[in-house]
């Protein structure tokens, strides 16, 4: 500047003599420098999302450069309160040094705005010069001295990416079967005889322990290894009956069930899962899919259930509420990206059944049993959801939500899917319903819209009176009327001769083509229903609800 005569030599000397001071903060070094460490997982989700947006450049290099130097003002969707209570409810149960991860993802139905991503991990890279991470829980890696991802990791445990494919969410996947069936005209009142084991049509290896003995057919069982008689969707979903949902999957078509999961946001990140999901012939033989053998992330599952809470409107998970450029223009890239993917009435019917597992119900719900009943007591608002457990209890999960917030939680070992740990629902259930409860404090209750029309009861038909007929005559009469007939093995008190038909369950009317159970008289004189409760659709023999499956 002296050479160009912009300033004098004396001015230059005076300027050099002034000590320089940085009056601002040093630029943060990525997501490991968030003001609160547990925000790092949300920050990482935002960063990965930004790098996928072509709006900010043709290459990931261009997009990252514009993120760091483009002068944007960005408001994220993270709700500080929801994030804080999610982390606090995790910390009640597991420390970051625990090899098992308790993960919670929260999302807003109808917008896709991600409100919380929390896990019992420290968001940072483990220092190889001074490692804090323990040896991997995976025995194969442990033998090689490879360290695990606890307490420190920057892996996208909740959102997926890289080699993080997700976790098996167990029976929460039954939702996809139910939605696929509802969209194809099967009403909530659809009754299926829940025999156990159930000899399905699905072909698997005859050497598989899941095969029916001496065959190559998939043979699922219920918890307790017994059947519970005819059930409808409300009862079967509420009590998580395996041998209801595998035959329902057969009726809806397994490939259609897989397609429904895709429509609701499941990405099938694992190569083995994608190979089946993207091959329709293979998907149509995926009988175990309804029991949750495919991997998904907590965020995917929260958003899948949020799609139903929003009456079937799917919204892409998004981490930004608003983006303003350096000229003050709001960018459309921050707007919700939603579309109707599930028929509205099918979504409402699915929600109606999904109120049962969490101890809630509507005016149309016919709930009989729940696997996570305490959720309703804790939250005290209209809720829906489902619990899930995998074979060997290698994971345990729970999804619970309102019209405003859906939270999916799972406890698993991210380093070793075949963990030797047998998980219970104690930690994950409490963490999920406590997070929904705490996040919803002070917010108004919003009711789910109940379903209506034939999707609830279906096309009803009169059941013929078969009282005191022989079992063979009663069976013939009922089959002639178009019903599927099941003989309840538990005799009931009746004035009809012993061994004859005492009546039916249900009686009066039921769904066209539905199951009608013949009650067998023991000849002891009382009318059916006056001594004990006869079986009704949705309950086990004798009207007794079966024990919880999850």
Fold of 459-543: Trypsin Inhibitor V; Chain A (3.30.10)
Digit-coded pLDDT (tens) for 94-152: 999 999 999 999 999 999 999 999 999 999 999 999 999 999 999 999 999 999 999 99
Which residues pair with residue 150 across a beta bridge? none
Question: Would the pLDDT of 44 be above 60?
Answer: yes
Question: Would the pLDDT of 23 be above 70?
Answer: no
Residue with tokens 């004798």: 542
Q: Where are the domains of the chain?
A: 167-315+343-419, 459-543
Which residues pair with residue 504 across a beta bridge? 518
Q: Which of 163-167, 199-203, 227-231 has the lowest mean pLDDT?
A: 227-231
Q: Average per-residue pLDDT in the chain?
A: 93
Strands 320-324 and 114-119 turn out to be unpaired
Residue with tokens 């999904």: 354
Euclidean distance between the first and the last CA atom of the chain, given in angstroms as a whole number: 76
Question: Would the pLDDT of 9 be above 50?
Answer: yes
Summarize the confidence of residues 314-328 as an average pLDDT. 97
Strands 460-462 and 509-511 turn out to be antiparallel
Least Cα distance to 258 among 304, 299, 303, 219 occurs for 304
Please say whether the structural domain 167-315+343-419 has been given the CATH code 3.30.1330.30. no
Question: Would the pLDDT of 25 be above 80?
Answer: no
Question: Are the CB atoms for 79 and 104 separated by under 8 Å?
Answer: no
Q: How many whole angstroms separate alpha carbon 468 and alpha carbon 476?
A: 14
At residue 397, the pLDDT reads 98
Summarize the confidence of residues 437-450 as an average pLDDT. 97
Strands 484-487 and 515-520 turn out to be parallel
Q: Round the CA-based radius of gyration of the chain to a whole number and report it.
A: 28
Q: Is the pTM of this model over 0.85?
A: yes
Question: Are the CB atoms for 502 and 521 separated by under 8 Å?
Answer: yes
At residue 262, the pLDDT reads 98
Q: How many whole angstroms separate alpha carbon 416 and alpha carbon 435?
A: 27
Cβ within 8 Å of residue 39, ≥6 positions away: 78, 83, 123
Cβ within 8 Å of residue 68, ≥6 positions away: 27
Digit-coded pLDDT (tens) for 405-432: 999 999 999 999 999 999 999 999 999 9
At residue 147, the pLDDT reads 96
Residue with tokens 């899962």: 273
CA max distance for the chain: 121
Summarize the confidence of residues 354-375 as an average pLDDT. 94
At residue 534, the pLDDT reads 38
**Omega prior to 151 cis, within 30 of 0:** yes
Structure letter (DSSP) for residue 297: -
**What are the φ and ψ backbone dihedral angles of 218, each rounded to 5 degrees?**
-65, 130
Cβ within 8 Å of residue 471, ≥6 positions away: 487, 499, 500, 501, 518, 520
Q: Which band of pLDDT confidence, cut at 50, 70 and 90, is reported for residue 549?
A: low
Residue with tokens 């500047």: 1
At residue 19, the pLDDT reads 85
Question: Would the pLDDT of 224 be above 90?
Answer: no
Question: Would the pLDDT of 546 be above 60?
Answer: no
pLDDT over 90, % of the chain: 82
Residue with tokens 């960005």: 74
């Amino acid at each position: 500047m002296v050479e160009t005569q912009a300033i004098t030599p004396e001015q230059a000397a005076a300027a050099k003599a002034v000590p320089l001071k940085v009056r601002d903060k040093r630029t943060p070094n990525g997501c490991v420098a968030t003001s609160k460490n547990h925000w790092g997982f949300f920050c990482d989700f935002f960063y990965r999302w930004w790098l996928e947006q072509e709006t900010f450049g043709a290459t990931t290099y261009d997009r990252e450069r514009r993120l760091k130097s483009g002068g944007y003002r960005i408001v994220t969707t993270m709700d500080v309160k929801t994030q804080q209570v999610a982390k606090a409810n995790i910390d009640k149960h597991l420390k970051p040094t625990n090899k098992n991860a308790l993960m919670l993802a929260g999302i807003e139905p109808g917008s896709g705005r991600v409100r919380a991503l929390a896990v019992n991990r420290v968001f940072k890279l483990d220092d190889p010069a001074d490692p804090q991470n323990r040896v991997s829980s995976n025995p194969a890696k442990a033998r090689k001295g490879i360290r695990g991802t606890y307490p420190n990791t920057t892996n996208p445990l909740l959102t997926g990416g890289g080699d993080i494919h997700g976790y098996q969410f167990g029976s929460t996947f039954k939702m996809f079967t139910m939605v696929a069936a509802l969209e194809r005209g099967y009403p909530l009142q659809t009754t299926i005889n829940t025999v156990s084991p159930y000899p399905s049509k699905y072909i698997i290896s005859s050497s598989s322990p899941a095969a029916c003995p001496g065959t190559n057919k998939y043979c699922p069982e219920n918890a307790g290894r017994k059947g519970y008689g005819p059930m409808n969707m409300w009862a079967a979903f509420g009590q998580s009956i395996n041998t209801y949902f595998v035959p329902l999957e057969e009726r809806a078509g397994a490939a259609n069930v897989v397609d429904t999961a895709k429509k609701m946001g499941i990405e099938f990140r694992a190569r083995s899962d994608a190979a089946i999901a993207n091959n329709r012939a293979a998907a149509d033989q995926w009988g175990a899919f309804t029991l949750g053998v495919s991997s998904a992330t907590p965020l995917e599952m929260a958003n899948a259930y949020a799609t139903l809470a929003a009456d079937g409107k799917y919204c892409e998970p998004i981490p930004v509420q608003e983006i303003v450029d350096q000229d003050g223009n709001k960018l459309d890239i921050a707007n919700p990206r939603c579309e109707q993917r599930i028929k509205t009435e099918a979504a409402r019917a699915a929600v109606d059944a999904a109120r049962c597992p969490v101890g809630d119900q509507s005016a149309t719900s016919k709930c009989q049993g729940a696997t996570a009943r305490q959720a309703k007591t804790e939250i005290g608002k209209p809720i829906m959801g489902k619990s899930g457990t995998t074979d060997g209890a290698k994971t345990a999960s729970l999804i619970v939500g309102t019209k405003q917030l859906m939270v999916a939680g799972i406890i698993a070992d991210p380093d070793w899917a075949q963990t030797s740990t047998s998980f219970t629902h104690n930690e994950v259930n409490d963490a999920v319903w406590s997070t929904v409860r705490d996040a919803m404090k002070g917010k108004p209750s919003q009711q789910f819209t109940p379903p209506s029309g034939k999707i609830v009861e279906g096309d009803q038909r009169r059941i013929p009176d078969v009282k005191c007929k022989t079992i063979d005559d009663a069976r013939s009469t009922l089959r002639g009327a178009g019903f599927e007939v099941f003989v309840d093995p538990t005799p009931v008190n009746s004035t009809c001769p012993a061994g004859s038909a005492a009546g039916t369950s249900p009686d009066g009317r039921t769904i066209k083509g539905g199951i009608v159970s013949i009650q067998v008289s023991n000849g002891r004189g009382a009318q059916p229903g006056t001594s004990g409760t006869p079986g009704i659709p949705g309950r086990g023999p004798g009207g007794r609800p079966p024990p919880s499956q999850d």
